[in-house]
Structure 1
Amino acid sequence: MAFQDLLNQAGGMGRYQILQMAFLLICNVMVTPHAILENFTAAIPGHRCWVHIIDNDTVSDSDSGTLSQDDLLRISIPLDSNLRPDKCHRFVQPQWHLLHLNGTFSNVTEPDTEPCVDGWVYDQSTFLSTTVTEVWEEVNPHMCFTSNGHHWDLCSFGSHLLHLLLTSLPERVIEWTSPKFKALVTILMSCATSFGSIVMAGLAFAFRNWHHLQLVMSVPIFFFLIPTRWMSESARWLIVNNKPQKGLQELRRVACKNGVKNSGDALTMEVVRTTMREELEATQTKTSLSDLFHTPNLRKRVFLLCLLRFSAAISILGFSIHLQHLKSNVFLMQCLYSSVSIPACIVAVFLLNHTGRRISQLFFCFLFGITILATVFVPEEMRTLRVVLITLAGANSVVISSSNIIHSNELLPTVIRARALGVTGTAGSMGAAVAPVLMTLTMYSASLPWIIYGVISILAGFVPLLLPETKNKPLPDSIQDVENEWKGSRHTNEEGAIIKVTPF
């Protein structure tokens, strides 16, 4: 944990950190909204079976007489349990007698129906085209359509690859920042993400064709790779990976950009070796992925962080990518909750810095779960209340993600942090994969997936309580730092007790 002394000499929050953070904030505006872009590109619009008498261009008006569109729909498409046109079936033959029954079906034999063998007709009032209408048309015998699929073309593949590359940059920023500013930096990145979501909602409203929206959102990302070559590598990582000379060069480079005078005299190889003596000794042993599980404290941290990321991803992704299933205007809801998440992130900074990482995450997870559950049980007629609850849940999901990132970075040692974050990230990806699968449970109950999302979030809130508090503490550099942390804190408490008792 001695690297903090070197960072203070180079400037813990100077011009370099501010410029680096500004670049990352701009990246976040365009990159991170891709995680929820499929709310628009893969939306499932209203649909019904294609029927000959209504949708065949060769059918003339004389063939259907003077019947209105509603009448033709009534004799062609059966009604579902909600007395709305069925999305997955049509009558085998037009049921002309339904025009004269005035809603009374008791004395009529149930007519034969069949699946949508000729395809579907889509409502284009909201989206001109999506990957569902043009690409996926995957039929499910119970739901007619699966949940949002993931369409991959060259453009989207490239943008997702760049998204993965650019989302690794926050770790560099965190490692160049003093402990008291870490929460602020992470929350600012979340605010940028929220602003990017607002921009995305506006672009989605303007470009209703999924091809055009994907192109507009993806092309700018390629230009963000160019400035990354001028970013400094983490000096902390270089030193603890037995590259002290390169680490020293990066420290001097940052000190120069921060306007620190005589940095060459203050930052020398002797100072680096003396300050980081224990860490450099630890580098003589090569670290590997298996080292995450050799020592008890680190193993416990990794397991609990994986559990937290997995459960949080299920709830957050389940909510974020299925906004359209909440029967609200997806453009409005995306814009509203992204706007509210910005002041919510500012409040989160206060809570994280004053109540600590553990209690804050408990509060955020509880609030998120409760708002989701409340949304499920509020009647659709109470639209204003539903909008408030959805907005609050969406803003809270951004805060949960940010607090998880902060806590994870502060708990994992630098020497193996990248590998550890890869493991926890994999757990998060597994949770993200489970989230849309749970939506298939709507065949049993429309509320069931949302209840599961809410309950999982509430249970996830207890996990941070099993992890150490990291507020205002320096980052651990080595695995030994993690293992000695409990002993060190115990020794400090004993010393404090001796000091208090001795004068008496």
Structure 2
Amino acid sequence: MAFQELLNQVGSLGRFQILQIVFLFLLNAIAMSHIAMENFTGAVPSHRCWVPILDNDTVSDNDSRILSQGDLLRISIPLDSNQRLDKCRRFVQPQWHLLQLNGTFSNVTEPDTEPCLDGWVYDRSNFLSTTVTKWGLVCGSQTLNSVSKFSLMIGIFIGGIVYGHLPDRWLSESARWLIMTNRPQKALKELRRVAQINGMDSGDSLTMEVVRTSMKKELEAAKTKSSPSDLFHTPILCKQIYLLSFVRLLALLSICGLAINLQHLSPNVILLQFLLGAVAIPVNVIGHFVLNHMGRKVGQQVILSFGGICILTTIFVPEEMQTVRISMVILGGAVSFLSNASNRLHENELLPTSLRSTALGIIGVISNTGLFMAPLIMMLVAYSASLPWIIYGSCSILSAFIVFLLPETKNQPLPESIHDIRNERKHTKQAKKEDLIIKVTRF
């Protein structure tokens, strides 16, 4: 707890920490807004084939002028399996005889149909223009809509790598990390700066001697310099990195799959997006208490499982039950966002300070595969409308099972170095051995 005593001297939660939180909040808000906007810029409005008899202003057929729009649609557009206007086909010739069949097709002959050779007519009551209406990304070209979302995720990934160093200009380096990398002078400078921003008078009393005395153990460990290769030469740490990577990969796949495809779950995307943002705030507050009460491991399992169950439940709720359907979507989305935060917390408490940034970078690169896969999985809707959502929900539940293989970190000291990780494993093995001896000698 030596470092905690130093933090208390410079202000553990003051103006400096609040400014960092606000700055990070703004950065995340900008990034998340681009993902959320995909539900609007890439929305797929209701559509049907363009037909000359109804949509060509120059047509002056006497029969078409005396018929209602419903009648014209009836003789121009076939019905799909749900007895709704087909979105991707039209009759080759107007089927005038259908006006006499009371809404049923003739059992004698099947009218010839064809694709929408002249384009589509879109319902513009909610969205005047989207990438879908502009480039005709429907029917045979609907997979290109997922490709456009894939391009967005590629941009986010590349942007994170190229511009990821920019926050270092405004965010102070961790004093704990500086000490663990054997740079106590710079750590002292950062601690004094934090004390000055927080208005703490104790900043002037911080000297190198105080830092060395308080962090004696950490400075001793820092003399053994760690290298990134140690991440893969330490079996227990290597295992944890792989497990954390797959947990975050599956969680991101589920989160992004839901976040960029809300339009497929409810026709009122604007209301759904607003409610999701409003509910996410109290859910994250509740999640804080869940993680502190249940622990990082069990708490994260509950959160990931519940989010996946909400997504799977949404699939089997009939579209007529919109209130239940929207409730499941909102809960699933809010809990999914919480799962990302709980995963990051668990990562930071498992990884040693001296190599934490490197390890998190490796985990980020591996797990960002989930960003790429999320929009591509939606292509499977061409085979089954439920299949993508089954995958999104199942991935969240599967990640909960993987968390079971990770150790608990609640009320445990943060590992400072590779040495601490090895000692922890040694103590764990010794404790298990002693427990086994007690059980054996009890009888």
Q: Could you state the TM-score of these two structures normalised by the residue count of structure 1? A: 0.77
Alignment of 1:231-310 (within 5 A): 231-268=171-208, 271-272=211-212, 274-283=216-225, 285=226, 287-288=227-228, 290-310=229-249
The one-letter amino acid paired with 2:67 is L
CA deviations on 1:177-201 (whole Å, 9 max, x unpaired) are: xxxxxxxxxxxxxxxxxxxxxxxxx
In structure 2, the CA distance between the partners of 1:166 and 1:267, relative to structure 1 (3 Å rule), is farther
What's the secondary structure of 1:150's corresponding residue? Answer: helix
1:159 Cα deviation from its structure 2 partner? 9.2
Count of aligned residue pairs for this structure pair: 432
Q: Give the corresponding residue for 2:295.
A: 356
In structure 2, the CA distance between the partners of 1:138 and 1:382, relative to structure 1 (3 Å rule), is closer
**2:260 is the alignment partner of 1:321:** yes
- Counterpart-to-counterpart distance in 2, 1:158 and 1:317: 13
Q: Does the 8 Å contact 2:195/2:202 carry over to 1?
A: no
- Counterpart-to-counterpart distance in 1, 2:65 and 2:267: 37
Q: Does the 8 Å contact 2:305/2:400 carry over to 1?
A: yes
- Counterpart-to-counterpart distance in 1, 2:429 and 2:295: 19
- Counterpart-to-counterpart distance in 1, 2:220 and 2:5: 14
Over aligned residues, Cα RMSD in angstroms? 3.2
Sequence identity of aligned pairs in percent? 53
CA deviations on 1:111-143 (whole Å, 9 max, x unpaired) are: 2222222222211111111112224x34654x8
In structure 2, the CA distance between the partners of 1:375 and 1:26, relative to structure 1 (3 Å rule), is same
Q: Give the corresponding residue for 2:78.
A: 78
In structure 2, the CA distance between the partners of 1:392 and 1:486, relative to structure 1 (3 Å rule), is same
- Counterpart-to-counterpart distance in 2, 1:492 and 1:470: 17
Q: Does the 8 Å contact 1:373/1:451 carry over to 2?
A: yes
Name which of 341, 346, 358 aligns with 1:407.
Answer: 346
Alignment of 1:434-445 (within 5 A): 434-445=373-384
What's the secondary structure of 1:303's corresponding residue? Answer: helix
- Counterpart-to-counterpart distance in 2, 1:78 and 1:241: 70
Q: Give the corresponding residue for 1:462.
A: 401
- Counterpart-to-counterpart distance in 2, 1:57 and 1:233: 66
**2:372 is the alignment partner of 1:433:** yes
**2:392 is the alignment partner of 1:453:** yes
In structure 2, the CA distance between the partners of 1:60 and 1:411, relative to structure 1 (3 Å rule), is farther
Q: Give the corresponding residue for 1:212.
A: none
1:396 Cα deviation from its structure 2 partner? 1.0
1:87 Cα deviation from its structure 2 partner? 1.3
- Counterpart-to-counterpart distance in 1, 2:155 and 2:315: 34
In structure 2, the CA distance between the partners of 1:167 and 1:305, relative to structure 1 (3 Å rule), is farther
- Counterpart-to-counterpart distance in 2, 1:405 and 1:426: 14
In structure 2, the CA distance between the partners of 1:163 and 1:39, relative to structure 1 (3 Å rule), is farther
1:108 Cα deviation from its structure 2 partner? 3.8
1:165 Cα deviation from its structure 2 partner? 7.8
- Counterpart-to-counterpart distance in 1, 2:34 and 2:412: 33
Q: Does the 8 Å contact 1:357/1:471 carry over to 2?
A: yes
- Counterpart-to-counterpart distance in 2, 1:445 and 1:157: 24
**2:358 is the alignment partner of 1:389:** no
In structure 2, the CA distance between the partners of 1:405 and 1:237, relative to structure 1 (3 Å rule), is same
- Counterpart-to-counterpart distance in 2, 1:453 and 1:139: 23
Q: Give the corresponding residue for 1:31.
A: 31
Structure with the bigger RCO (C-alpha within 8 Å, sep 6+) is 1
Q: Does the 8 Å contact 1:32/1:163 carry over to 2?
A: no
In structure 2, the CA distance between the partners of 1:157 and 1:492, relative to structure 1 (3 Å rule), is closer
Structure 1 stretch displaced more, 121-130 or 466-475: 466-475
- Counterpart-to-counterpart distance in 2, 1:293 and 1:79: 59
In structure 2, the CA distance between the partners of 1:451 and 1:419, relative to structure 1 (3 Å rule), is same
Q: Does the 8 Å contact 1:38/1:148 carry over to 2?
A: no
* Structure 2 stretches lacking a partner, 5+ long: 435-443
**2:423 is the alignment partner of 1:484:** yes
Alignment of 1:144-163 (within 5 A): 144=142, 146-150=144-148, 160=156
Q: Could you state the TM-score of these two structures normalised by the residue count of structure 2? A: 0.86
